Amino acid sequence: MVHFDDIVAAAERIEGKARLTPLLEAPLLNQKLGCRVLVKPECLQLTGSFKFRGAYNRIAQLNPEELSRGVVAYSTGNHAQGVAAAAKMMGTSAIIVVPKDTPAIKQNNTRAWGAELAFYERDSEDRVAVAQAIADEHEAIIVPPFDDPHVIAGQGTIGLEIMAQAAMMDAEPDMVVIPAGGGGLTAGIATAIKEKLPNTQIIMAEPKSYDDTKRSMAAGVRVANDLGPDHESTFCDALTAPIPGELTFPINQKLVSDVVTLSDETVCQGIYRGFIDFKLTLEPSGAIALAALVSGAISDAGTDIQDKTIVVVCSGGNVEPSVYADALIRGAKQA
């Protein structure tokens, strides 16, 4: 389990290493939606996504002997950069296992942080097994992308910041909307927020074609994505974990009010509003929570947003220019 105190300890650990990202507000968007929207832009975090927080919190707790053996991680791209940067700061080496189709920007940045890359086939290979084999060979420590209490606690520091920053803006969140991949970001933030604000609703947003979290919540047990031959892909490449985490799922099951699923076309609305109202570069995965709010998906699912104070976690901004440009134009057309 992950406790509130673990998150407080993580916040002390990452202070001065991670960035204290601001909490942003766009008065004209509030006016348009009839609620108060506060955006937590983790695209401004070191390495362009929230992943640095959890990675640093894990690696900073390794002992010198463990650090001398290096770390291994598997990732769809953002965790790769987070682990690479954290490893560099802690003076250890990192090998990152990424899908062959990882966006070039994520590959290049991971290497620029000093990490070595190893590749796997997204559809045919088990990335955990590939990483485990490399870790065994090097006697290295695996830093999991979400299913690890230290990683979850690191991501939870966002929840502490949200509460402190909202209070400074005379706001108390009625709702926090969070992108859903493996569930580590939500588990951390929800654990932090619910401890102090038990009535705050936690909403997760995930791609329609990777709706394992929604189906798992409905089933009451972890259910994997059905990746059969007719399966649609998504440009939310950071939200394609195969199944909710063993650790994250029971936490989220207890603390999350609802899960909404969005098509890629709808996600473009979040990218557009990130651009127009907040001047932020959001990758598709990073824009999905904002899209869930502005598209009406949350209210359509029965959660009232009128006059509420709603925190939206925009989790990352690592995206290829061509993908972004196309999504931005599609989003603008829907506005």
Q: List interacting residues with a second copy (CB under 8 A).
A: 22, 24, 27-28, 31, 41, 43-44, 46, 48, 85, 105, 109, 112-113, 272, 275-276, 278-282, 317, 321-322, 324-326, 328-329, 331-332
Please identify which of the residues 40, 51, 106, 194 carries the catalytic annotation.
51
Q: Residue 183: how many CB atoms within 10 A of its CB? A: 32
- Please check whether residue 237 is in contact with residue 264, taking contact to mean a CB–CB distance below 8 angstroms: no
DSSP conformation letters of 14-40:
HTTTS-----EE-HHHHHHHTSEEEEE
Is residue 315 part of the annotated active site? The answer reads yes
Q: Tell the smallest beta-carbon distance from residue 298 to a second copy (Å).
A: 23
Give the chain's largest Cα–Cα span: 57
Which DSSP helix (H) or strand (E) runs through 259?
Answer: strand 258-262
Q: What is the nearest approach in angstroms of a second copy to the Cβ of residue 2?
A: 28
- Indicate the residue among 68 and 334 with the shorter CB distance to a second copy: 334
Q: Using DSSP bridges, classify how beta strands 201-207 and 116-120 pair: parallel, antiparallel or unpaired.
A: unpaired
Q: Judged by CB, which is closer to a second copy: 281, or 309?
A: 281
Select 16 or 220, whichever has its Cβ closest to a second copy.
16
Closest contact distance (angstroms) between CB of 267 and a second copy is 15
Sheet containing strand 36-41, strands side by side:
24-25, 36-41, 309-314, 175-179, 201-207, 258-262
Burial of 8 (0-12, 13-18, 19+ CB in 10 A): middle
The DSSP bridge partners found for residue 36 are: 309
CB of 24 to a second copy, least distance (A): 7
Q: Which of 82, 112, 80, 108 is nearest to 96 (CA)?
A: 80
Rank residues 26 and 153 by Cβ distance to a second copy and give the closer one.
Answer: 26
Output the smallest distance, CB 329 to a second copy, in A: 6
**Closer to a second copy by Cβ: residue 43 or 239:** 43
Q: Is 51 a catalytic residue?
A: yes
Residue 134's CB is within 10 A of a number of other CB atoms, namely 20
- State the catalytic residue, choosing from 75, 285, 295, 315: 315
Residues labelled catalytic = 51, 315
